[in-house]
Amino acid sequence: MAIEVFAPAKINLTLHVTGQRPDGYHLLDSLVVFADIGDTIRVVPAAALSLEIDGPEAVGLAAEPDNLVLRAARLLAPEQGAAITLTKRLPVASGIGGGSADAAATLRALAQLRGVALPAPEQVLALGADVPGCLGSAPVRMRGIGERLDPVPPLPAMDIVLVNPRVAVSTPTVFKSLATRDNPPMQPVLPHWQDLSDFTGWLDRQRNDLTAPAIVQQPVIADVLTALRDVGALFAAMSGSGATCFGLFPPGAMPDRTYPTLSLRHPDWWIAQGKIL
């Protein structure tokens, strides 16, 4: 028996840094969504634990023991084996939670394979701040350092383009170079958005506090945002600590030329288009 679980890209539509804990981790307030663009985890029963990595973004990724997929498998059951295959389509270390999504999908696949319950959000936090949110793979308001998850009002349907300019951003460095760590959170109760223009209007008044320090580290991020606006995105911003940025479009209205135009102008960038789940 094989179980396959999709590991969708995580997108921070907003990311407010609202404080810092004594251990250095930052307190966040983030509206997080997932896209139908992502990796795949496939598990089959086996005596020993193993990991194989394939797919277009597998280059340079080694199945080291500290790989998040293997750490997730050991967290669920330290002694049990499984043969795991990760098909990597999301660029690594790019602000869209690839590693966290893979860890969460591994937990879901192995829990299903073995007929056991999923661990609680606090138990999986040690794998990464985004892993609790990725376990649900549905729109969520993420607070604390990622462990406090609250439902959000229904979101309008929308399409999304993800663009990564193929530069690496160091997440700890971006957090360390923040000018201010005590920024205001989102409003206590999120509004009920009427439609996509109401929603993107609201997004225009929110922030990703990591954008400015990420652009200092990798100025090309500003070019990505401009490129997304130039192809008509209703809203464009950076996800997580970057460098991946996203553009939002009305459902089905994304002109067929969005992807070709972007990839023609920027053949060296990673570009993917899809829907918000």
Report, as residue numbers or ranges, the catalytic residues: 10, 130
Q: Is 137 annotated as a binding residue?
A: no
**Minimum separation from the CB atom of position 229 to ligand C5P (A):** 28
Residue 267 CA to residue 262 CA, distance in Å, equals 8
User: Is the CB of residue 134 less than 8 Å from the CB of residue 40?
Assistant: no
Partnered with residue 144 across adjacent β-strands are 28
**Minimum separation from the CB atom of position 19 to ligand C5P (A):** 10
Q: What is the DSSP pairing of strand 49-54 with strand 82-87?
A: parallel
Tell which residue, 158, 159, 155, 166, has the closest CA to residue 258: 159
Tell which residue, 254, 178, 251, 169, has the closest CA to residue 212: 178
**Minimum separation from the CB atom of position 208 to ligand C5P (A):** 13
Q: Is 84 annotated as a binding residue?
A: no
Site string for ligand C5P, 117-136 (x = CB under 6 A): -----------xxx------
Among 61, 63, 92, 145, binds ligand C5P (CB under 6 A): 145
Among 6, 7, 13, 26, binds ligand C5P (CB under 6 A): 26
Q: Is 155 in the site for ligand C5P (CB under 6 A)?
A: no
Among 50, 171, 206, 263, binds ligand C5P (CB under 6 A): 171
C-alpha count within 13 angstroms, C-beta hemisphere, residue 66: 2
Partnered with residue 181 across adjacent β-strands are none
* Strand order, beta sheet including 159-164: 235-238, 245-249, 159-164, 270-275
CB contact burial 4-39 (16+ within 10 A = b; e otherwise)? ebbbbbbbbbbbbbbeeeeeeebbbbbbbbbbebbb
Q: Is 25 in the site for ligand C5P (CB under 6 A)?
A: yes
Return the beta strands (E) in 102-158 as ranges. 140-144, 148-150
Q: Which of residues 67-126 bind ligand C5P (CB under 6 A)?
A: none
Q: Is 175 in the site for ligand C5P (CB under 6 A)?
A: yes
Is the CB of 154 or the CB of 172 nearer to ligand C5P? Answer: 172
Is the CB of 115 or the CB of 172 nearer to ligand C5P? Answer: 172
Q: Is 30 annotated as a binding residue?
A: no
Among 5, 9, 28, 228, binds ligand C5P (CB under 6 A): 28
Q: Is 9 in the site for ligand C5P (CB under 6 A)?
A: no
Q: Could you tell me which residues are annotated as the binding site for ATP? A: 91-101
Q: Could you tell me which residues are annotated as the binding site? A: 91-101
Q: Which residues bind ligand C5P (CB under 6 A)?
A: 25-26, 28, 128-130, 145-146, 171-172, 175
